[in-house]
């Protein structure tokens, strides 16, 4: 078979389902927090593959783990188990509240498992009428039909036929709205310990603790979706640790594999027992390659140096963005925690976040958006300080062009 055809952005339109609209830039290699495209143009990566590349590109610990495992065993399925999966599960349980782990391939699948477990736990402990799931407006939990319905953005779940039932949405950071919905028929409250896609919104301590107390009062499980906030992103290994609130079930993905697809749901022994043999599964879940890479990523991130480094680097970003804003007055607020940062556009620039992203790309820095009004930064947790400075200098050039 011949490979003599151009691999470019036009080929995407030719061969791919049109649910994405990717940039014309096609990166072909990366090192640390820098990426090069087909024309060998260099970019500084402040996007991190949407909070995934927690150790940047081609980190030696990850390359080493993948290469070593690639020469051992690639796939078995869960008819058997494998050493990397068991090692990673042990490290996850040793480092968190949890006793038990279920591996999947993505955040959505981890959340799907969490939701199914919560429903099964409630059914077996309390009966069929305890099935209500409370989630939050603007929340995001993945794109399977169950998780996208639990997510609080109807635009993502409308238009696919009848939705899974008994799912309601409260307002984030509004404890009264949760109180108005919760009852003894609630099986679970599902929340992000910082809303990512919904706008980089941190919970108040009072709200997080209040939700935990309401769950306790009504025998409902608290499920934390830490797909974006987990594995060091906010400066703690998991964000719940910084809130002083412990969930019953936690989901983790994105940064867990440092760029290799993997997700996990973790919980206590008492809750986990309701997923007995045959109730749930995944062919690829716990794949040896994925778990070997994730173990290396986890070991690298779960150190005081890296976690404290996240907090220090966050200060550099906030100071740098505030300095840019002092000149151009385009942001109403810089918010977030750790290295999940949102720059909120002022009224004069409403709806134009994508323009800022495109302008930044033209200047050689990759950013993200969180909705139409927020520029999102989710770089490598170990991005060198000089790359932060250089990336912000490039970002300032983009802001200057749009602020004219």
Sheet holding 340-345, edge to edge: 331-337, 340-345, 374-377, 368-369
The annotation status of 346 as a binding-site residue, yes or no, is no
Angle subtended at Cα 317 by Cα 236 and Cα 312, rounded to the nearest 5 degrees: 45
Rounded Cα gap, residues 38 and 103, in angstroms = 35
The annotation status of 168 as a binding-site residue, yes or no, is no
Rounded Cα gap, residues 58 and 69, in angstroms = 16
Active-site entry in 43, 46, 103, 140 = 140
102 φ, ψ to 5°?
-120, 125
**8 Å CB contact between 160 and 145:** yes
**8 Å CB contact between 78 and 282:** yes
Active-site entry in 43, 103, 225, 248 = 225
**104, β-bridge pairs:** 263
- From residue 60, alpha-carbon distances to 42, 258, 287, 365 in Å are 20, 12, 21, 23
Active-site entry in 45, 146, 254, 313 = 254
The annotation status of 225 as a binding-site residue, yes or no, is yes
| Catalytic (active site) residue 140 | yes
The annotation status of 151 as a binding-site residue, yes or no, is no
Secondary structure (3-state) at 121: helix
Residues constituting the chain: 404
The annotation status of 177 as a binding-site residue, yes or no, is no
The annotation status of 107 as a binding-site residue, yes or no, is yes
The annotation status of 228 as a binding-site residue, yes or no, is yes
| Catalytic residue annotation | 140, 225, 254
**Binding-site annotation, residues for N(2)-acetyl-L-ornithine:** 143, 282
Residues at the annotated binding site?
107-108, 140, 143, 225-228, 282-283
Residue numbers belonging to the annotated binding site for pyridoxal 5'-phosphate: 107-108, 140, 225-228, 283
């Amino acid at each position: 078979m011949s490979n003599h055809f151009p691999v470019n952005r036009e080929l995407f339109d030719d061969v791919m389902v049109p649910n994405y609209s990717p940039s014309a830039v096609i990166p072909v290699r990366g090192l640390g927090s820098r990426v090069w495209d087909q024309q060998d143009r260099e970019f500084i990566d402040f996007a991190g593959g949407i909070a995934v590349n927690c150790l940047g590109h081609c980190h030696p610990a990850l390359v080493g783990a993948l290469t070593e495992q690639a020469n051992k065993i690639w796939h078995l399925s869960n008819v058997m188990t494998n050493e990397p999966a068991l090692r990673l599960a042990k490290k996850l349980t040793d480092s968190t509240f949890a006793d038990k782990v279920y591996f999947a391939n993505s955040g959505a699948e981890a959340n799907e498992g969490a939701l199914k477990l919560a429903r099964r736990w409630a059914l077996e402990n309390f009966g069929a009428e305890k099935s209500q799931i409370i989630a939050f407006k603007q929340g995001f939990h993945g794109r399977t039909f169950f998780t996208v319905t639990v997510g609080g953005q109807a635009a993502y779940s409308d238009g696919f036929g009848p939705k899974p039932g008994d799912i309601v949405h409260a307002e984030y950071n509004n404890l009264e709205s949760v109180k108005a919905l919760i009852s003894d028929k609630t099986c679970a409250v599902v929340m992000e310990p910082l809303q990512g896609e919904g706008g980089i919104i941190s919970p108040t301590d009072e709200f997080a603790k209040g939700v935990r107390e309401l769950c306790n009062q009504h025998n409902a499980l608290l499920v934390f979706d830490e797909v974006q906030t987990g594995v060091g992103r906010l400066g703690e290994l998991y964000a719940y640790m910084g809130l002083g609130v412990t969930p019953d079930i936690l989901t983790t993905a994105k940064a867990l594999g440092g760029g290799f697809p993997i997700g996990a749901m973790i919980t206590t022994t008492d809750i986990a027992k309701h997923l007995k043999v045959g109730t749930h599964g995944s062919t690829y879940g716990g794949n040896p390659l994925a778990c070997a890479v994730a173990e290396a990523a986890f070991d690298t991130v779960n150190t005081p140096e890296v976690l404290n480094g996240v907090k220090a680097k966050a200060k550099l970003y906030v100071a740098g963005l505030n300095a840019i804003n002092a000149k151009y007055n385009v942001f109403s607020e810089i918010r977030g925690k750790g290295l999940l940062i949102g720059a909120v556009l002022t009224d004069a620039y409403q709806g134009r976040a994508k323009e800022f992203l495109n302008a930044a790309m033209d200047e050689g820095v990759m950013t993200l958006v969180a909705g139409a009004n927020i520029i999102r930064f989710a770089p490598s947790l170990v991005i060198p300080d000089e790359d932060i400075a250089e990336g912000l200098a490039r970002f300032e050039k983009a802001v200057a062009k749009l602020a004219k």
